């Protein structure tokens, strides 16, 4: 073939891919101004998030989290969205490659010749028939001179990466909600058991006070007071039962099951071991990669930036090349005779916009506005990440301090209950004093259970704020 057949493609390949109309990426002011360290960091060291809930040494909790990460329907939806975004990126990538098409054709025509200039001559044919067969291969390619296709593909790839980060965020949220619901179940069960113990004590206290009132040894206000406490405690029990049912229902939903299906998992004793160890928080700048919401926001910012380049490139000419080759003949054997019946077509087509009613300019402005919105959203996500870590670290410290204070109070009321029991056995105090000491003990034990739950949830909140991969497996769909 002549060298002219390759002149246009060779020239185009030299200039294709050399220009991009996307603006340069800018560092967010919120990232530049980010502090170098967390104010509430207790210990130095890198953040180590993997399977951190195993420190509670609770096989039931471990099994629940594993099942939630396996079965949760929010995770399944996020995985599907990530897969769809990845497929859409592959669709955009196809524009960077030539398109090839194979063709095969056959046609037959049989038309009358009556009414023609020679149709009345003796022996002239009255009909005309024709057969045509063809095989061909065609190729087309748009040279991306100004980066429209490349920028659209890169933007779609950033969208896919953002969807992957959304998938990670959904996994973290699911694990966090599972842990939270579990500790609510643990506390609700304890509160119900504690209330039943307190009801027994209060019922005995009311009976003894009523007897003393009948004998003139107690005032009416004392009897009314303990009766009101008993009624109040009885009224609180249905609320505690409802709270337990709600927590178990949340847990079942997270595991994509019905509450009856989760009962077996919760049949074992629920005894998580509280841990008060400090959490190494690493450096603030690591949040940009650790937190999936921040990483997703960055990828969406990149996608918006690249789409500005794609829309700007639409102002400039587009060069499309096409080529086709094949064979054609009046019979199948002729089509297979490549040496005699081959054909070749080469074409180059340049199109440039002249007037479009302002469509391209409006698209550029819309892309720029989308970028500005994404930039603000990214800055907001960075500030929000810092704020959440700071608040979570403060809450973790405060909840641990509160737990220690209530634990010290429990030691005191336990000592008082033991003392009143000894005094009653020694005959120097009545049984009512012992019952009052037991009531106080159960009340503080109830408060300590809630405080323990709050410590666990505060530790959960800190890990959730810091982000990171919480499991040892890959977090990509």
Sorting pLDDT into bands at 50, 70 and 90, what band is 195? very high
| pLDDT tens string 199-247 | 999 999 889 888 888 888 778 888 888 899 889 999 999 999 999 999 9
- The alpha carbon dihedral of 114, 118, 124, 130 has a sign of negative
Q: Is 203 within a domain? A: yes
Q: Is 86 within a domain? A: yes
CB 342, CB 326: distance < 8 Å: yes
Q: Is 474 within a domain? A: no
Measured CA distances, 453 to 47, 184, 273, 293, 458 (Å): 23, 7, 11, 27, 9
Confidence at residue 6, expressed as pLDDT on a 0 to 100 scale? 36
Q: Does the pLDDT at position 410 exceed 90?
A: yes
Q: Does the pLDDT at position 474 exceed 50?
A: no
What total of structural domains would you count in the chain?
1
Sorting pLDDT into bands at 50, 70 and 90, what band is 118? low
Q: Token pair for residue 404?
A: 């220690």
The number of CA neighbours under 13 Å toward the Cβ of 132 is 8
Q: What are the beta bridge partners of residue 131?
A: 108
Task: Show the CA angle centred on residue 131, arms to residues 129 and 133, nearest 5°.
Answer: 170
Closest CA to 286 of 136, 468, 125, 443: 468
CB 402, CB 451: distance < 8 Å: yes
pLDDT-above-70 percentage for the chain: 92
Q: What are the start-end ranges of the H helices in 215-350?
A: 220-254, 259-262, 287-290, 292-313, 332-335, 338-341
Question: Three-class SS of residue 342?
Answer: strand
Q: How far apart are CA 169 and CA 171, in angstroms?
A: 5
The 8-class DSSP code of residue 274 comes to P
Instruction: For residue 457, report the phi and psi dihedrals to the nearest 5 degrees.
Output: -70, -30
Confidence at residue 78, expressed as pLDDT on a 0 to 100 scale? 98
Q: What is the average per-residue pLDDT within 119-138?
A: 76
Q: Is 337 within a domain? A: yes
| pLDDT tens string 1-28 | 444 333 333 333 444 445 678 999 989 9
Sorting pLDDT into bands at 50, 70 and 90, what band is 330? confident
Q: Is 248 within a domain? A: yes
Q: Is 264 within a domain? A: yes
CATH number at residue 191: 1.20.1600.10
pLDDT-above-90 percentage for the chain: 69
Residue in the structure block whose two tokens are 């550029």? 364
Strands (DSSP E) found in 113-158? 127-143
CB 20, CB 309: distance < 8 Å: yes
Q: Is 207 within a domain? A: yes
Confidence at residue 190, expressed as pLDDT on a 0 to 100 scale? 96
Q: Which range, 82-86, 261-265, 328-332, has the best average confidence (pLDDT)?
A: 82-86
Q: Does the pLDDT at position 77 exceed 90?
A: yes
| 459 Cβ contact list (under 8 Å, min separation 6) | 275, 279, 396
Q: Token pair for residue 406?
A: 């209530």
Confidence at residue 2, expressed as pLDDT on a 0 to 100 scale? 41
Q: Is 145 within a domain? A: yes
CB 234, CB 199: distance < 8 Å: yes
Domain that holds residue 195: 3-101+132-466
Q: How far apart are CA 365 and CA 289, in angstroms?
A: 30
pTM for this prediction: 0.86
Measured CA distances, 456 to 274, 287, 308, 393, 441 (Å): 7, 22, 46, 13, 23
């Amino acid at each position: 073939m002549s060298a002219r057949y390759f002149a246009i493609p060779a020239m185009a390949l030299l200039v294709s891919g050399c220009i991009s109309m996307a603006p340069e990426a800018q560092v967010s002011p919120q990232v530049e101004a980010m502090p170098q360290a967390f104010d509430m960091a207790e210990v130095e060291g890198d953040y180590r998030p993997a399977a951190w809930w195993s420190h509670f040494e609770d096989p039931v909790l471990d099994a629940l989290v594993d099942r939630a990460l396996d079965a949760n329907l929010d995770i399944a939806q996020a995985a599907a969205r990530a897969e769809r975004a990845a497929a859409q990126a592959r669709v955009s990538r196809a524009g960077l490659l030539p398109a090839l098409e194979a063709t095969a054709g056959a046609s037959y025509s049989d038309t009358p010749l009556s009414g023609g200039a020679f149709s009345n001559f003796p022996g002239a044919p009255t009909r005309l028939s024709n057969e045509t067969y063809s095989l061909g291969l065609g190729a087309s390619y748009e040279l991306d001179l100004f980066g429209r296709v490349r920028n659209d593909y890169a933007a779609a790839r950033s969208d896919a990466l953002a969807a992957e980060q959304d998938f990670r965020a959904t996994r973290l949220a699911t694990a966090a909600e599972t842990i939270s619901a579990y500790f609510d179940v643990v506390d609700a069960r304890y509160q119900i058991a504690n209330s039943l113990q307190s009801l027994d004590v209060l019922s005995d206290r009311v009976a003894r006070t009523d007897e003393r009132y009948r004998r003139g040894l107690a005032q009416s206000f004392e009897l009314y007071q303990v009766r009101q406490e008993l009624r109040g405690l009885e009224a609180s029990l249905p609320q505690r039962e409802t709270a337990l049912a709600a927590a178990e229902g949340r847990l079942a939903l997270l595991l994509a099951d019905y509450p009856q299906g989760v009962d077996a998992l919760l049949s074992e004793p629920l005894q998580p071991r509280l841990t008060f160890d400090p959490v190494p928080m690493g450096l603030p700048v690591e949040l940009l990669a650790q937190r999936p919401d921040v990483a997703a926001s960055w990828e969406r910012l990149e996608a918006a930036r690249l789409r500005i380049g794609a829309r700007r490139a639409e102002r400039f000419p587009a060069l499309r090349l096409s080529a086709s080759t094949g064979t054609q003949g009046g019979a199948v054997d002729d089509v297979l005779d490549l040496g005699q019946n081959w054909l070749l077509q080469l074409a180059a087509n340049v199109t440039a916009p002249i007037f479009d009613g302002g469509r391209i300019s409006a698209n550029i402005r819309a892309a720029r506005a989308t970028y500005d919105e994404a930039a603000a959203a990214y800055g907001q996500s960075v500030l929000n990440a810092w704020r959440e870590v700071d608040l979570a670290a403060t809450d973790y410290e405060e909840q641990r301090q509160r737990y220690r204070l209530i634990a010290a109070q429990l030691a005191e009321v336990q000592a008082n209950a033991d003392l009143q029991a000894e005094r009653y056995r020694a005959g120097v105090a009545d049984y009512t004093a012992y019952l009052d000491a037991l009531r106080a003990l159960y009340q503080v034990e109830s408060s300590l259970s809630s405080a323990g739950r709050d410590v666990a949830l505060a530790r959960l909140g800190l890990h959730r704020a810091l982000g990171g991969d919480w499991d040892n497996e890959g977090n990509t769909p």
